[in-house]
Structure 1
Amino acid sequence: MKVAFITLGCRVNSYESEAMAEKFIKSGWEIVDNDEKADAYVINTCTVTNMGDRKSRQMISRARKANKDAVIAAVGCYSQVEPEKVAEIEGVDIVLGTKNKGDIIHYVNKFIEERNQIVNVKDVFTDKKFEDLNIDEYQDKTRAFLKIQDGCNRFCSYCLIPYARGGVCSKNPEKVIGEIKRLAEHGFKEIILSGIHIASYGDDLKGDWNLISIIEKAEQIDGIERIRIGSIEPRFFDEDTISKIKNMKKMCPHFHLSLQSGCTETLERMNRKYTAEEYKEIVYKLRENISDVSITTDVIVGFPGETDEEFEKTYDFLKEIELAKMHVFKYSPREGTKAAAMKNQINGNVKDKRSAELIELDKINEKKFMSKFLDREMDVLFEKKL
């Protein structure tokens, strides 16, 4: 039996798809590319934007066209938020949310046996347990992503992710450290600690565990040469945290520091928990303490009520702080969020114009950052023999 995976969205989804694939392999299935004919297709969906929803639907349809007799399983964030809509898509046999991906084999076998559509989406606000999806055999043998946290309690006004992933839940710290040790024993040199809101790791745990304590433990593990963390919010970097990171030898000097807007008024409507000035201070503190630090970010243009003046504040802010790289997104209204009901929605042409301006600025800033490394020797990790 052959199974193919189609994964949309974030690194956490990628990690979970690899973990699900491993469960299929252990059950005797063969993993094939998603453009090949398979007996089952697992579409790991995304709902962070309208585009994510649309691509999820498109991938489901593509899988059905590839083999009309295959088992089609739609799992993940879009399925969690809109299970009824997903179940109505022609050809969908199994609908699972974000809390039971580990049971995928059970549900595929159940459908093959009974041939009745299965819809099993748990309530993410009552099921607060961390789903322990582990990977024993990574495809990449140099770098490993490790999911250590799920969920988010922030409720930004534009975002559905808390409804798709539920509240904060953290992986048992002893299991995290054990998995990092096992990865090192298998030859992995670099780990990327990932989560939906990774800065909140440990908030739901007893004791003093937090993200920094995990990183400090990982620093002590022989064989691990590099440690990275996924996208993180600015306020994680207080003076104590920066001081600790400054003295770490294995921590990569790269932080994806979520911004979304360089205008404090816009940030307030977004329900972000910092001001533009606070963000700038953190950027400068990181640069003062960590040499060659690379700071990247995400920016949303065209958020409801974003006036020309507010956008200019964002543009000038980003021009001033010169980040190494930024990903620019045009605001996408998500039904059920506060932002979708706000007045003064911005039309598409304005979003396109603002997006284009920031993308051009990003090219300039990125080139400035990269030029600092001309004619310098830097350490690298080899991924394969040439």
Structure 2
Amino acid sequence: MGTAITTTAATPTAMRTDAGPDLRHHGDAEVRDAGADLVDLAVNVRADTPPRWLREEIAASLTGLAAYPDGRAARAAVAQRHGLPEERVLLTAGAAEAFVLLARALEVRRPVVVHPQFTEPEAALRDAGHEVERVLLSARDGFRLDPALVPEDADLVIVGNPTNPTSVLHPAGVLTQLARPGRTLVVDEAFMDAVPGEREALAGRTDVPGLVVLRSLTKTWGLAGLRVGYVLAPPETVTALQRAQPLWPVSTPALAATRACVAPRALAEAAHAAHRTAADRAHLLTALAELAPYGVKVTGPAEAPFVLLELPDAHRVRRRLRELGYAVRRGDTFPGLGPDWLRVAVRDRATTAGFVAALGKALTQEG
């Protein structure tokens, strides 16, 4: 079973208030300014993206940069994609902006973040002056979510599905047990479009009280540099978040990308990519199983485009992997994990073969 702990909030001007994990460390830091040509297994953006047709859609929008962005068509397209009225949709500069808006716009007394998960939600809450309570799920039971761990009087609960970095896909029925009147339940579905059939998705649901679903288009479509995402929520929540946004928060190229990525053609391509990723992940897991004698354990069943590994002396192994040309994501910056964890992005089979061979060398090298 997991545990619940409370951490003191930072003042709005403070960056850190304790010696805990660095909530601002993200996968791009593993390859940024590396001074080496590394194979990137640290960032969870799908390889070989954005596709040409999407680049052309974005490029075509550049002729309209003299005008202020008009998000109405993109908002309508997102609403149609999820079968929702437009007043339930808010376009954002990526999911990260949505976390900041939630932290600043909602009046909450007892926010709870379920960890291990993406650290920006807690960082945004702390920066906004909130005191944050952590519910830590346990590796012993595969980081499964027990709704009973969440305090009954929590009025904001944030959980990822599938969860970064654990790759765990929580059942929708378990997540909806967290909903209740007077509580905002935020489910981060940034990687849900990488799950075949989007199993366990809550996007589009209007029968769950207080449900807020976040979606990102940056992972599947390779648009991290453009910042594309959206919020699906009750109209009153959308209104509150919108009031906290600056004017014209989403650029014209990002709006063009949003419309393109929720169109039928794109949805079909994303569905195909999800099945291909699942097959590549199965291949990676089979290869990693051969390293079990060296203490490599994989959190499972993995359902996202990345896997979480536990292995002895992971900090040293990560350094060795860099020397061998591979960047992976350290795990000790995620609350609930520690120095013996690494996250690895799923890639094609040739890349996997090279990585697993390098990992084998890193595990057996001395020093």
State TM-score, norm by structure 1: 0.29
- More RCO (CA 8 Å, sep 6+): 2
State TM-score, norm by structure 2: 0.31
Q: Which has the larger radius of gyration?
A: 1
